[in-house]
Chain A
Amino acid sequence: MFVKRRIPVLAALAAVVPLALAACSGGSDTAAQPSGPVTLTWWHNGTTDPLKGIWEQVVADYHQAHPDVTIKAQPLQNEEFPTKIPLALQSNDPPDVYQAWGGGEMASQVTSGKVADISDATKPWISGAGKLAADWQADGKQYGVPFEQHIVGFWYRKDLFTQAGVTTPPSTMDELNTAVAKLKTAGLAPIAVGGKDRWPDAFYYNYFAVRECSSDVLKQSVKAVKLEDPCWTKAGQDLKSFLATQPFQTGFAGTAAQQGAGSSAGLVANGKAAMELQGDWEPGTMSSLTDDEQLDSKIGWFPFPAVPGGAGDPAAALAGGDGFSCTTRASKACADFLQYLGSEPVQTKIAAAGAGLPVNTAAAKSLKTDTLKTVFDYGQKAPYLQMYFDKAFPTAVGAALNDAVANLFAGQGTPEGIVTAVNQAAAGNK
């Protein structure tokens, strides 16, 4: 912006310079840990039950067990985190404990110098969090701990399958295409997708990539933030062929994923669509969008089908997790708290309430429904877990990927274009 008057410009500069200097001073401080009673501010996304109630209980229980630690919980709407966290990490008093999803986004946050390296504090117990914990590392150091894991797969309505004459859940792409055709003949929307939010579209591309690319290629590509192997383009072509079968509900490009009964989750919840490729949170989301008390008994789950000729293991899964990171002020107290969150009592509560898949295996037996147990077991047995790419890659690259995939869904762009978009974003082009 070029203000015409000289004086305002000078004034603006005068204001800006101290701020820039303040921004520059965001270097890491080897903060001495506070001694004596400690209050931890905790930003989490449990604004609704069941998680809301569980966290409230956790705060009370932890204080009872550790009288010198008081936790001040601040629930924040999930969508606010991408806005609020960067601002908080710019300030001098970011929250002590905050929700983090690991991967490339967390790596960016680490550059602020305010995120604590808790490798030492967590070493004795981090193995309890399973192989997922590796996603909360950057440069081999632990910067957060997951408390919940997510597996993505197909949630389907058994009653609608029966109605259309689909007897068993598909295990190959061909079987899936057949099922789609049968459902269409029966007048049902075969698959619901929340195209408006873009990330549900990306799940399809992600999974085709997981099927087409070997786990080595996947790991290496994420590390280098570069898509070079032809399997990435092949995945795009698989997606294009799949899209050509027109398996989605009418107007999917404008459908939200989780908001309101008209969302993709709502469509499945109310029996208007037969399947949706989503994470394990889906039953929880669906239950709030319908009055159907019998919903749980009508829902089943099957993993993403195998793709012929793919170099990826057909049992590999697209996964993710929810976790928390610590800031430097009270990192030891924070790490201890995170250990508590991963302990069996807390994890059992989470599993039993259907709030998510626990990272603690002992808690898995308390999972609310058999379907969720199936999902959990699948994740445990999977030879390889790939974090969804929009979290694994740095944020800008992940967003470019989601955009390119959404374009393909809209009938624009090419499979090659997806690879190009990601590589360009990674190279710093906007």
Chain B
Amino acid sequence: MRSRRFGLSMGYLAAIVVLGVTVVPLLFVLLGGFRTNAQINTDPAGLPGPWVWDNYTAVLGSGAFWTFLGNSALIAVIATVLAVALGSMAGYALSRYHFKGREAFYTLFTLGLLFPLGVATLPLYLWLRQLGMLESFWGVAIPEAAFSLPVTIVILRPFMHAIPGELEDAAVLDGASRLGFFWRILLPLSAPALTTVAVLAFVTSWNAYLLPLLVFNDSAHFTLPLGVATFQSQYSQDTARVLAFTALSMIPALAFFVLAERRIVGGLTGSVKG
């Protein structure tokens, strides 16, 4: 009993420390949006005084913010769905099928981890141009999905592998095909890992800067990070307004995570009992 209480209070202590370190810079961004540049400049660590609404209202009122938001969302959703769908299928094949060259294929996918997107930029750009995919959402979403595949597969494979074989045996006894097992049993059981990889893919796409920069010239197609850069340039180093824009840009990705998080907690470890 005592160790349980000790554990809990250590837990709370850790929570507070982590919270502090994590949140303070985020508060800096959030509150910075409520100040003027002069305030930020003279008293960097201070609270807003007076509270200025202009920055947030200006950002929310500009049609540009919502356009960028919509573009980012569309691309991120496409990239995530592609990466998770294809990645989970590949993960299943690589974790529970037995075939020659399986490890080789797995290694091939992990190769993709070793090459940051920025480095492949020039050849990727030329290749996209050849395929006629410039200035289109697919031109961003598809490469993003491709580059998210390695992480997805690396995370999903051990997870799927760890699911006990008896479940598969049982399903097969009940007359299900292996694909049926995949669709009806394995996937639901993999929900925590699927959620994790979905969140990772979504966030990676959401924050991507270099690829959209190269693919899009028309500002109507820009995603949020591009928008922030454009915004920053347009309001020439208007720190307060950039902070407001930043704070607002964080919210969708965080919201997605919170919603997805419930799915993890919503639990399922109980299902693998006996």
Q: Are A77 and B38 in contact (CB under 8 A)?
A: no
Which of A8, A74, A285 meets B108, CB within 8 Å? A8
CA distance A263 to B33 in the complex (A): 19
User: Which of B62-70, B173-181, B234-242 binds A?
Assistant: B234-242
In the complex, A261 has a CB within 8 A of chain B:
yes
CA distance A203 to B270 in the complex (A): 68
Contact partners of A290 in chain B: CB under 8 A: 37-38, 41
Residues of B in contact (CB 8 Å), total: 31
A interface: dominant SS: loop
Q: Are A19 and B126 in contact (CB under 8 A)?
A: yes
**26 residue pairs A–B, Cβ–Cβ below 8 Å:** A1-B115, A3-B108, A3-B111, A4-B104, A4-B108, A5-B108, A19-B123, A19-B126, A48-B233, A74-B217, A75-B219, A76-B217, A77-B230, A77-B233, A80-B213, A83-B213, A84-B214, A91-B129, A260-B239, A261-B40, A261-B237, A261-B239, A262-B41, A270-B41, A291-B37, A291-B38
A291 with B234: in contact, given A19-B130, A83-B213 (CB under 8 Å)?
Answer: no
Residues of A in contact (CB 8 Å), total: 35
In the complex, B14 has a CB within 8 A of chain A:
no
CA distance A389 to B233 in the complex (A): 26
In the complex, A24 has a CB within 8 A of chain B:
no
Which of B40, B218, B237 meets A258, CB within 8 Å? B237
A289 with B214: in contact, given A19-B130, A87-B122 (CB under 8 Å)?
Answer: no
In the complex, A15 has a CB within 8 A of chain B:
yes
CA distance A140 to B129 in the complex (A): 34
Q: Are A261 and B111 in contact (CB under 8 A)?
A: no
Contact partners of B127 in chain A: CB under 8 A: 15, 19
Contact partners of A246 in chain B: CB under 8 A: none
Q: Which of A345-393 contact B (CB under 8 A)?
A: none
Contact with A along B215-248 (1 / 0, CB 8 A): 0011100000000011001111111000000000
CA distance A88 to B122 in the complex (A): 11
CA distance A259 to B122 in the complex (A): 28
Q: Which of A260-276 contact B (CB under 8 A)?
A: 260-263, 266, 270
Q: Which of B1-49 contact A (CB under 8 A)?
A: 36-38, 40-41
Tell me the smallest distance from the CB of B50 to a CB of chain A, in Å.
14
CA distance A78 to B230 in the complex (A): 10
Contact partners of A270 in chain B: CB under 8 A: 41
In the complex, A90 has a CB within 8 A of chain B:
yes
Q: Which of B124-157 contact A (CB under 8 A)?
A: 125-127, 129-130
Contact with B along A80-99 (1 / 0, CB 8 A): 10011001001100000000
Tell me the smallest distance from the CB of B250 to a CB of chain A, in Å.
19
Tell me the smallest distance from the CB of B108 to a CB of chain A, in Å.
7
Contact partners of B233 in chain A: CB under 8 A: 47-48, 77-78
Contact partners of A109 in chain B: CB under 8 A: none
Q: Are B37 and A261 in contact (CB under 8 A)?
A: yes
In the complex, A288 has a CB within 8 A of chain B:
yes
Q: Are B126 and A47 in contact (CB under 8 A)?
A: no
Q: Are B214 and A83 in contact (CB under 8 A)?
A: yes
Contact partners of A285 in chain B: CB under 8 A: 236
In the complex, B107 has a CB within 8 A of chain A:
yes
A289 with B115: in contact, given A4-B107, A77-B230, A90-B126 (CB under 8 Å)?
Answer: no
Q: Are B236 and A261 in contact (CB under 8 A)?
A: no
Contact with A along B256-269 (1 / 0, CB 8 A): 00000000000000
CA distance A1 to B237 in the complex (A): 40
